[in-house]
Structure 1
Amino acid sequence: MTLGERVPPSLILMAGSTLWGLTWIWLKHAHALGIGPILLTVVAFATQWLVIAPFAWRAWKDPSRRPISRLDGPWLALLAFASGVAGVGFTMAMVYGDVVRSMMLFFLIPAWGVLFGRVFLKEPLTPTRLLAVVSALAGAFLILGPDFGDGLRPADLFALIAGFSLAGANTLFRFLADQPISIKLSLMQGSTVLLGLLAWGLSAEFGTMPTLEAVGSSALYGATMLLAAILATQYAVERLPASRSAILMTLELLVAVASATWLGDRIHGANVWTGGTLILIAALLEATTARHHRPPVAPCKG
């Protein structure tokens, strides 16, 4: 019996989202040790790539694997680019921004997920899904509302771009469902490293040597917490409708809000907890709808 037969993909995705909601703690810790967020991303994803690469190579050599067609190539390239942007943007938003504010802007992804799911996967816009999206976004705006007058900060833009890119990457991951997970993950991680190195070379971080302790912490983060979160997320999103995945992933936001409040990152009022409740309701609402189905995949042509 496989993992998916023992544990529903919805629960696996909720577990992965919980890990994502706690990543900010490790990210801020590693940054405090003496490493910039861009180089932190590079080290973490390079470590992941080293873990996944042997499995990707084995899958690549598997004679039963469907060959990559000419039509697959552009979608794989777009998947790689979107993943790289999401990886770098998320880390920068978490390190430089307020955790709750950045997470809220990042989690406009339910709307992006429904949009991408409709365009790429032809998923229906059922009343229940639309209600779940409205509930999630209402919770998001309720939490962020008091800060709207401040205007968008750089960390806000990082969070918005990262959320949009992640929603697109998740949809493309499922659109290319005939390609092995390990190959797609290896491609996503490698792209994040390359894009991260390019961004690092153009940023103010370049030329500042990180501490050995910070590099070690970043590598450990990539090989454990981040890798587990990514594996759980991608395994589940490949098996769930994109709109459901986008809603369930908002659990990350609730975990981040709760952990940031508990650890004293910021004092939050009733609007935060009310907004978080709406987001949890949206996640549970979406989890009870739309039974598992196989999504359409990229056309197979030579």
Structure 2
Amino acid sequence: MAFGERIPPSLILMSGSTLWGLTWIWLKHAAELGIGPILLSVVAYAAQWLVIAPFAWRAWTDPSRPPISRLNWEWLGLLALLAGVSGVGFTMAMVYGDVVRAMMLFFLIPAWGVIFGRLLLKEPLTPGRIIAVVCAIGGAFLILGPDFGDGLYPADWFALIAGFSLAGANTLFRLLAEQPIPIKLTLMQGSTVVLGLIAWVFSSEYGIVPTPEALASSALYGMTMLLAAVLATQYAVERLPAGRTAILMTLELLVAVASAAWLGDRVHGLNIWMGGAMILAAALIEAASAHRRQPELAAPCKG
């Protein structure tokens, strides 16, 4: 019996979600060593791409692989674009923003997922799913409410855009279920590198030489913690019902918020915690709704 088959997929997914929830610690540490978040994303995802590329090539040359139609190429291109925006945006939100606030806004994914699921997968808009959307949006308004008058922080926009893009990428990942995971992952990682380089050239980071320690830390992050989180999530979601997957992935939000509250020195107001509770409730409602849908489709996460 293979090593992975001896470990329950639920435990693997919980491990992956825990890693995702702790990524902010490594990201902020690498940034403190002397590298901007955009270039950090480029280095991390490039390192991860180098690890996955040989497996993608093997899948690409497999004669039993279903052919990629013209429509699939268009969907794969959109998948890569959304994944690239999400990868860079998430890193910028974690580095520049308050982790608790940014992670809660990023985790509006269930609400965006309902919209994309309806548009692309023709999933029904059940009362439970509508309630989940309203609950998630209401939670975001609670979190952002005090700042609407003065405008949102850049990190807020990074988190919102990253979560929205990831929800779209997750939906397309499911839509293209017949295509091998390594091929989709390399496209997603490669897009993050390309888009990151373009954004870096036009950003204030351009021209600032990162320290060797920061480059090494970023590459190591991509090849270890980030890669482990991606692979654990992908392995588990293919083997678990979508409802259980969505529930277990809320551990990411809980770990991030708990670790940031424990290690940080910022005191958050009641509106932050109430908004976060509403977003978490939305995720659980959507998970229950997904559990009742047939057939079950596992929603992959970040790539």
1:130 alignment counterpart: 130
Q: Pick closer, same or farther for the CA change 1:21–1:197 going to 2, 3 Å.
A: same
- Cα distance 1:148–1:100, how it changes in 2: closer, same or farther (>3 A)? farther
What's the offset of the Cα at 1:66? 0.5
Cα distance in 1 for residues equivalent to 2:9 and 2:93: 31
Identify if the C-alpha distance between structure 1 residues 240 and 160 changes in structure 2 by more than 3 Å, giving closer, same or farther: farther
1:22 is aligned to 22
Question: Partner of 1:173 in structure 2?
Answer: 173
The corresponding residue for 2:76 is 76
Classify 1:240/1:161 alpha carbon distance in 2 versus 1 (closer, same or farther; 3 Å): farther
Contact 1:132 1:286 in 2 (8 A): yes
Structure 2 CA distance for aligned equivalents of residues 239 and 69 of structure 1: 27
Q: Distance in 1 between matches of 2:110 and 2:153?
A: 22
CA shift for structure 1 position 220: 1.1
Q: How high is the sequence identity, in percent, across the aligned residues? A: 76
TM-superposed deviation, 1:132: 3.6
**Cross-structure match for 1:293:** 295
Letter in 1 for 2:258: A
Distance, in Å, in 2 between the alignment partners of 1:107 and 1:73 is: 28
Q: Which amino acid aligns with 2:295?
A: H
**Counterpart contact for 2:28–2:95, Cα < 8 Å:** yes
User: In structure 1, what residue type is equivalent to 2:8?
Assistant: V
Change beyond 3 A, Cα 1:46–1:75? same
Question: Structure 2 CA distance, aligned partners of 1:232 and 1:133?
Answer: 27
Q: Distance in 2 between matches of 1:57 and 1:86?
A: 24
The TM-score, its normalising length taken from structure 1, stands at 0.85
CA distance in 2, matches of 1:39, 1:175: 31
- Residue equivalent to 2:162: 162
Letter in 2 for 1:7: P
Report what 2:192 is aligned to.
192
| Distance (whole Å) between structure 2 residues aligned to residue 68 and residue 174 of structure 1 | 15
| Pairs within 5 Å for 1:72-151 | 72-151=72-151
Distance 1:253 1:174 in 2: 22
Q: Distance in 1 between matches of 2:81 and 2:93?
A: 18
* Structure 2 stretches lacking a partner, 5+ long: 299-303
**Equivalent AA in structure 2 for residue 172 of structure 1:** L
Structure 1 contact 42–196 (Cα < 8 Å) conserved: yes
User: What is the deviation of 1:177?
Assistant: 0.4
Deviations 1:223-261 (A, max 9, x none): 111112222334455677889866764443332221111
Secondary structure in 2 matching 1:192: helix
Please list the CA deviations of residues 31-88 of structure 1 after superposition, one character each: whole Å capped at 9, or x if unmatched.
0000011110011001100110111111111111101111111101111111111111
TM-fit CA distance, 1:207: 1.4
Hey, what does 1:254 align to over in structure 2?
Answer: 254
Is 1:39 the counterpart of 2:50? The answer is: no
Q: CA deviation at 1:210?
A: 0.7
**Offset from partner CA, 1:280-299 (integer Å, 9 cap, x none):** 44444444452562559xxx
Q: In 2 relative to 1, CA 254–146 (structure 1 residues): closer, same or farther, beyond 3 Å?
A: farther
What displacement does 1:7 show? 3.4
Give the AA of the match of 2:152.
L
Unaligned 5+ residue runs, structure 1? 297-302
Q: 3-state SS of the aligned residue for 1:71? A: helix
- Counterpart of 1:63 in structure 2 is 63
User: RMSD of aligned C-alpha atoms?
Assistant: 2.9
Q: Structure 2: how far apart are the matches of 1:209 and 1:282? A: 43
Given the superposition, is the C-alpha separation of residues 135 and 8 from structure 1 closer, same or farther in structure 2, using an over 3 Å criterion? farther
- Structure 1 residue 170: deviation in Å? 0.7
- The residue aligned with 1:299 is none
Other structure's SS at 2:259 match: helix
Mean Cα deviation higher: 13-22 or 245-254: 245-254
